[in-house]
Structure 1
């Protein structure tokens, strides 16, 4: 299952979708991800220092408790405990994009993807630059949490095959 906000699978610019609004992001985190996940990781981040390149300090006030290194999608990443500090920061949503008055950075992204785990099992992949949530290999209990999401959130969940068909059709234009 994939979450795409305001998915358009027909029309001149299909397939297309919008960024995830704060209310929807917070609803998915509180009513799904935080209920099934105990840890998370940032793509390309194998140690805390990776979050602070060239003196950037956005993550200084996060309580980042390291669990272990884990392999995800051909990347070795540092898995952090999903504690209350991290939950509150993730709920802010804008944690992923920062603007700086700097010659080196205009907009800076710490990561391209954010992984959520239940134990060592990857359950959600948030693709930052696409505003896409990919739900992976969910069990029956986890699927029930998705079914319990509010209707205005659930309506944006699609089967990946629908997106694949739309992408293939767009290539044929």
Structure 2
């Protein structure tokens, strides 16, 4: 099994290494369409253990999502509600700004943000998107899934590294 990390325009050398850019809409859509949507059958938001968690204090952003509950899963010591990755959810997830929404509510300071989005293949967590880090972690990939990475655009593929490579870069910088 393979664990890899995507960081846009990853630079593992130079004075500010490791460094990377935020994920653009185009890259987000390409990774979803050409990799994640080919593997995943469900998804979950961290901190959301039931459908009602998506509708706090009148938030209606998810009212046009067809949210079919598949069950619960444990991710990083959190219990999350898994939703079927159907065509309606795919279309909404392709809108990169799905994570931040403007609406009027003093409690949430005019936005509602999901910190992490998880994708599953049956019971196996395969992708963890960490919104505030602009990072995609590909987890527990098997060889055939890893081969899909090879079919991505070269600019995207070059920013996907084995997780041990990223850890080594951080350790090298810390020890420098």
TM over 0.5: yes
Q: Does 1:157 align with 2:137?
A: no
Q: What SS does structure 2 have at the residue aligned with 1:28?
A: helix
- In the alignment, the residues of structure 2 paired with residue 140 and residue 160 of structure 1 have an alpha-carbon distance, to the nearest angstrom, of 16
TM-score of the two chains, using structure 2 as the length reference:
0.90
* Total equivalences in the alignment: 173
- In the alignment, the residues of structure 1 paired with residue 112 and residue 14 of structure 2 have an alpha-carbon distance, to the nearest angstrom, of 31
Classify 1:108/1:140 alpha carbon distance in 2 versus 1 (closer, same or farther; 3 Å). same
Runs of 4+ in 1 over 4 A off after TM superposition: none
- In the alignment, the residues of structure 1 paired with residue 110 and residue 168 of structure 2 have an alpha-carbon distance, to the nearest angstrom, of 33
Instruction: Report if aligned partners of 1:114, 1:127 keep a CA contact under 8 Å in 2.
Output: yes
- Superposed counterparts of 1:45-64, under 5 Å: 45-64=48-67
What is the CA-CA distance between 1:9 and the residue it aligns to?
A: 2.6
TM-score of the two chains, using structure 1 as the length reference:
0.92
Instruction: Report if aligned partners of 2:59, 2:103 keep a CA contact under 8 Å in 1.
Output: no
CA root-mean-square deviation: 1.7
Once the two structures are overlaid, the 10-residue window that deviates more, 87-96 or 53-62, is 53-62
**Unpaired runs of at least 5, structure 2:** none
- In the alignment, the residues of structure 1 paired with residue 128 and residue 73 of structure 2 have an alpha-carbon distance, to the nearest angstrom, of 14
What is the CA-CA distance between 1:101 and the residue it aligns to?
A: 4.7
What is the CA-CA distance between 1:102 and the residue it aligns to?
A: 4.3
Q: What SS does structure 1 have at the residue aligned with 2:67?
A: coil
**Unpaired runs of at least 5, structure 1:** none
Q: Does 1:125 align with 2:128?
A: yes
What is the CA-CA distance between 1:104 and the residue it aligns to?
A: 3.0
Q: What SS does structure 2 have at the residue aligned with 1:24?
A: helix
